[in-house]
């Protein structure tokens, strides 16, 4: 603290007590903020590892799914009819859940639960029907995996942003 920056204070015992209370309050605020930053960082790190592994894995899964579709086209010839049938069911929906982590509200995505509607799509018993059904299910599973990855990604990005802001505040308190 430089000699110029001084609080204009009446040198009495009461103001001493008041100053001490203020100091305690400021320290408590600072430590709470640090705790928040640490909690955010912990979550951030945890998600990071999961997200990274999941992203690497899904590449392989997508390859397999594409392969299944190619197999279906090979077996059935033209699958545009199947695609039109697929359009008739309700579109795939992901549910949004909002969680609270250290005061930051973070959205989570959940893949669709209970997809009995997929089994009801008529794949036909003609040539390729089984392959089409297989390809459809494979892609459906991949979709679930991708939704999970998207959920992790949003969480990670939101946490990243929140961490930056909180760290800025902590640093402002510490350095200035």
Partner 1 sequence: MPASKYKNGEQRMIGVIGDEDTCTGFLLAGVGDKNPKKGLGPNFFVVEKMTKQADIEEGFRSLVSRDDIAVILICQHIANDIRYLIDEQTAIASKSALPCILEIPSKQIAYDGSKDPVLSKLRQFLGEK
Residues that bind partner 1 (CB under 8 A): 45, 48-49, 51-52, 55, 58-59, 62-63, 65-66, 69, 79, 82-83, 86-98, 106-107, 109, 115, 117-118, 121, 132, 135-136, 139-140, 142-143, 146-147, 149-151, 153-154, 156-158, 161
Angle CA(172)–CA(173)–CA(176) in degrees, nearest 5?
Answer: 65
Residue 140 Cβ, how far from partner 1 at the closest point, in Å?
4
Q: Which is nearer to partner 1, 48 or 170 (CB)?
A: 48
And the tokens for 66? 């594409």
Q: If residue 109 lies in a helix (H) or strand (E), which one and from where to where?
A: strand 104-110
What is the gyration radius of the CA atoms in the chain, in angstroms? 28
Residue 68 has a CB neighbour count (10 Å cut-off) of 19
Q: Which is nearer to partner 1, 17 or 122 (CB)?
A: 122
Residue 82 Cβ, how far from partner 1 at the closest point, in Å?
6
Residue 173 Cβ, how far from partner 1 at the closest point, in Å?
22
Question: Angle, to 10 degrees, between the axis of helix 13-76 and the axis of helix 129-175?
Answer: 160
Residue 47 Cβ, how far from partner 1 at the closest point, in Å?
10
Q: Which is nearer to partner 1, 29 or 103 (CB)?
A: 103
**Residue from 146, 77, 79 nearest 110 by CA:** 146
């Amino acid at each position: 603290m430089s000699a110029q920056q001084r609080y204009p204070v009446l040198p009495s015992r009461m103001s001493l007590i008041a100053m001490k209370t203020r100091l305690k309050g400021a320290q408590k605020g600072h430590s709470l903020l640090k705790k928040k930053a640490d909690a955010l960082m912990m979550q951030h790190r945890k998600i990071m590892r999961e997200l990274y592994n999941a992203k690497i894995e899904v590449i392989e899964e997508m390859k397999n799914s594409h392969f299944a579709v190619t197999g279906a086209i090979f077996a059935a010839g033209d699958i545009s009819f199947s695609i039109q049938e697929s359009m008739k069911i309700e579109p795939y929906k992901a549910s949004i859940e909002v969680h609270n982590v250290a005061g930051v509200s973070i959205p989570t995505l959940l893949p669709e639960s209970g997809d009995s509607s997929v089994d009801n799509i008529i794949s036909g018993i003609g040539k390729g029907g089984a392959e089409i059904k297989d390809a459809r299910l494979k892609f459906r599973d991949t979709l679930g995996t991708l939704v999970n990855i998207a959920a992790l990604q949003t969480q990670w990005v939101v946490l990243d942003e929140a961490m930056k802001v909180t760290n800025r505040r902590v640093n402002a308190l510490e350095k200035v």
